[in-house]
């Protein structure tokens, strides 16, 4: 009934597939990033120094080096992903992919699909889960090994009542074919991580594997079967993360984000998987976990101190991946898995609201960088996750300090801009020829990942994006859109980081995924400060350093247009027009997989059904882990040193 148990608290010594040359890969990637960064920093140093570096110039150099490193990492990741996808090679094994290959049916197993929810739309939750389960039933050989759980943390009594009614009807529809269970907690202690931990302590011992779904997740049956097969084939693997692609976006903002994810995410994820190897990250959903490994390794402690940097760990997924890897389990990112989908906020303000939570959670990770026994890659995940938001502060500081420096030079006796028609400044140094090349290289590094993604789709699957002409037009629109919203996202992220550092604690509310138009008043209320900063910035530089004003056009223009951008990109009507014109089309719209085809259909009206009780419990422990106490040698005899550092 339960299948062959391979889930011990530690990884076994046998494995069917290793990841060749991990150390060499990481060394090469590190050398590429460091050498590129050193060259960029050297060029900036040569540009800035004339008889010594001033304090302002020193700040500019440090900020430039950090942000340039971030750009370089993204570039090399994209280039590696491009090469591997062009050659149709698996990023882990480097073997050639067969597009028509299909995994053998998994051995006997018991797998739970667990969907934690919190004050979500019950109809959308049930509809998505139903399509996932129906897709599993199409894989009739193994569907009986899966059970589904809706784990409710809902605090609203009316929503909870609707949940019970919707789930009872779903149970009625699947009666005799697939078990669907419902459990509601009275108190949502620990939020999503606590929800999953409570499930594991009550029922975890019943299941070999857990597939974690968000309230908006949808996964195809073949995908789920492939994940189980992959876990069985690799007994040392504790977690496999798929690449979820956004769907069902109707606003302009949502369609831009959906298009960018469909076009670039598979390539970037392939590059990440290549150099991260068996120490990849976990994004909290659309992933499969080895249950007993998760229970043994991933009980989360509370951080000392008060929120926002103390208390409950918000971005639990990164931490769970780090703890599992610390215990010797492989954590893999599988980029070959398809039919893995999610939804996302449909306007810029709701998108930023979600980022506000992630900012606080990712900044908490900085406290864990020195955790005992953590793998180097896990520490990098913590650092890069925080840098994703801190980089906005650094970028803003670099622009501000550069403005002060430019104004100072313009007001100095040295003529920084000697000709009213001059585009580039007269840098007082013996190597002015470095300015333009460094600027061109930086812009190229920023744009080349997008160009590579376009070339890949152009050569391999243009029809999936509406054809070559529409693909190119859509990609150009997306690049313009990305440039325009970059300054306002910089402002939002900087505000969030400063808010966390000043002690502001985030509130936890359900994510808004449905597209909705943002009223002008709300758009102005959330962007007036950015507009004011943009106006002051533009006016002062135009008055004091006129030519530097033109260098800053992309920045101050984006800030001045922020309210308009929030409003116009939230439009459902214009989003529909873009789709009708064949722009920003994505594969899930052009040729939707079966699991998505009936998602929009209304749920059938079922007879009044009684909610079935959860299955019998199989209690198990999930001990709280420590980041200050960890003895690696205690793990080695059990793992037999099977996972190399």
pLDDT digits (tens, 9 = 90+) for 25-72: 999 999 999 999 999 999 888 887 765 677 888 888 999 999 999 999
Q: Which two tokens stand for residue 480?
A: 């313009």
pLDDT digits (tens, 9 = 90+) for 237-247: 999 999 999 99
pLDDT at 218 over 80: yes
Polymer length in residues for the chain: 645
Give the residue-averaged pLDDT of 272-283.
Answer: 96
Nearest residue to 515 via CA among 571, 470, 466, 453: 571
Q: For helices 221-233 and 122-138, give the axis angle rounded to 10 degrees.
A: 70
Q: What is the pLDDT of residue 100?
A: 47
pLDDT digits (tens, 9 = 90+) for 337-389: 889 999 999 999 999 999 999 999 999 999 999 999 999 999 999 999 999 99
Cβ-contact 356, 508 below 8 angstroms: no
Q: What is the pLDDT of residue 271?
A: 97
pLDDT at 639 over 50: no
| Sheet arrangement for strand 340-342 | 218-219, 340-342, 245-246
This prediction's pTM = 0.90
pLDDT digits (tens, 9 = 90+) for 138-153: 876 666 799 999 999 9
Q: Which two tokens stand for residue 563?
A: 């309210």
Instruction: Name residue, tokens 């050297």.
Output: 42
pLDDT at 488 over 90: yes
pLDDT at 267 over 80: yes
What does each C-alpha distance from 88 to 155, 263, 439, 454 come to in angstroms?
47, 16, 33, 16
Nearest residue to 137 via CA among 177, 179, 181, 182: 177
What does each C-alpha distance from 71 to 60, 66, 77, 358, 471 come to in angstroms?
16, 9, 10, 21, 25
Nearest residue to 313 via CA among 321, 305, 303, 304: 303
Q: Map out the domains of the chain with their CATH numbers.
A: 22-89+387-423+435-590 (no CATH), 111-384 (3.90.550.10)
Strand-pairing partners, residue 287, are 212, 241
Q: What is the pLDDT of residue 59?
A: 86
pLDDT averaged over every residue in the chain: 88
DSSP H or E stretch at residue 357: helix 348-364
Q: What is the pLDDT of residue 139?
A: 79
| SS3 state of residue 220 | coil
């Amino acid at each position: 009934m339960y299948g062959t148990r391979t889930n011990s608290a530690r990884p076994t010594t046998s494995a069917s597939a290793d990841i060749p040359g991990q150390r060499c890969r990481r060394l090469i990637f590190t050398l590429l990033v460091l050498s590129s960064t050193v060259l960029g920093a050297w060029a900036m140093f040569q540009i800035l120094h004339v008889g010594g570096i001033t304090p302002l110039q020193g700040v500019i150099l440090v900020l430039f080096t950090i942000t340039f490193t971030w750009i370089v990492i993204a570039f090399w990741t994209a280039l590696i992903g491009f090469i591997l996808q062009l050659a149709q090679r698996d990023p882990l094994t480097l073997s050639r992919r067969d597009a028509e290959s299909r995994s053998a049916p998994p051995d006997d197993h018991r797998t739970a699909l667990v969907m934690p929810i919190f004050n979500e739309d019950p109809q959308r939750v049930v509809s998505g889960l139903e399509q996932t389960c129906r897709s599993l039933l199409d894989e009739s050989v193994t569907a009986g090994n899966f059970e589904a759980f809706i784990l409710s943390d809902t605090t609203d009594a009316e929503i909870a009542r609707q949940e019970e009614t919707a789930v009872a009807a779903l149970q009625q529809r699947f009666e005799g074919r697939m078990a669907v269970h419902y459990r509601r907690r009275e108190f949502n202690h620990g939020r999503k991580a606590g929800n999953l931990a409570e499930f594991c302590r009550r029922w975890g011992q019943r299941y070999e594997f857990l597939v974690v779904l968000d309230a908006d997740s949808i996964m195809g049956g073949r995908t789920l079967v492939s994940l189980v097969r992959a876990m069985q084939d690799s007994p040392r693997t504790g977690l496999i993360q798929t690449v979820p692609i956004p769907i069902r976006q109707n606003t302009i903002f949502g369609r831009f984000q959906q298009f960018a994810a469909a076009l670039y995410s598979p390539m970037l994820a392939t590059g990440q998987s290549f150099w991260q190897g068996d120490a990849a990250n976990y994004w909290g959903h659309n992933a499969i976990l080895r249950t007993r490994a998760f229970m043994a390794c991933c009980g989360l402690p509370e951080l000392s101190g008060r929120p926002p940097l103390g208390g409950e760990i918000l971005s639990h997924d990164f931490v769970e991946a780090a703890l599992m890897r610390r215990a010797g389990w492989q954590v893999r990112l599988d980029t070959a898995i398809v039919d893995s989908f999610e939804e996302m906020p449909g306007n810029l303000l709701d998108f930023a609201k979600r980022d506000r939570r992630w900012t606080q959670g990712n900044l908490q990770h900085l406290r864990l960088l020195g955790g005992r026994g953590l793998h180097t890659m896990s520490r990098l995940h913590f650092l890069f996750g925080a840098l994703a938001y801190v980089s906005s502060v650094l970028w803003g500081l670099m622009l501000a300090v550069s403005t002060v420096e430019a104004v100072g030079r313009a007001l100095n006796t040295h003529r920084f801009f000697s000709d009213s028609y001059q585009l580039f400044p007269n840098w007082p140094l013996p190597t002015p020829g470095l300015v333009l090349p460094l600027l061109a290289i930086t812009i190229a590094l920023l744009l080349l990942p997008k160009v590579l993604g376009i070339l890949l789709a152009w050569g391999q699957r243009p029809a999936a994006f509406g054809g070559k002409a529409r693909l190119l037009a859509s990609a150009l629109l997306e690049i313009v859109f990305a440039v325009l919203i970059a300054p306002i996202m910089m402002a939002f992220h900087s505000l969030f980081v400063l808010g966390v550092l000043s002690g502001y604690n985030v509130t936890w509310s359900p994510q808004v995924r449905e597209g909705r138009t943002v009223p002008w008043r709300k758009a102005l209320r959330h962007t007036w400060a950015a507009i004011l900063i943009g106006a002051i910035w533009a006016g002062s530089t135009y008055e004091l350093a006129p030519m530097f004003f033109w260098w800053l056009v992309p920045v101050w223009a984006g800030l001045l247009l922020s309210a308009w951008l929030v409003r116009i990109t939230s439009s459902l009507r214009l989003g529909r027009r873009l789709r009708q014109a064949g722009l920003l089309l994505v594969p899930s719209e052009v040729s939707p997989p079966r699991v998505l085809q009936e998602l929009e259909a209304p749920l059938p009206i079922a007879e009044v059904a009684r909610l079935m009780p959860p299955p019998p419990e199989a209690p198990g422990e999930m001990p709280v882990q420590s980041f200050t106490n960890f003895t690696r040698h205690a793990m080695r005899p059990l793992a037999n040193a099977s996972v190399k550092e």
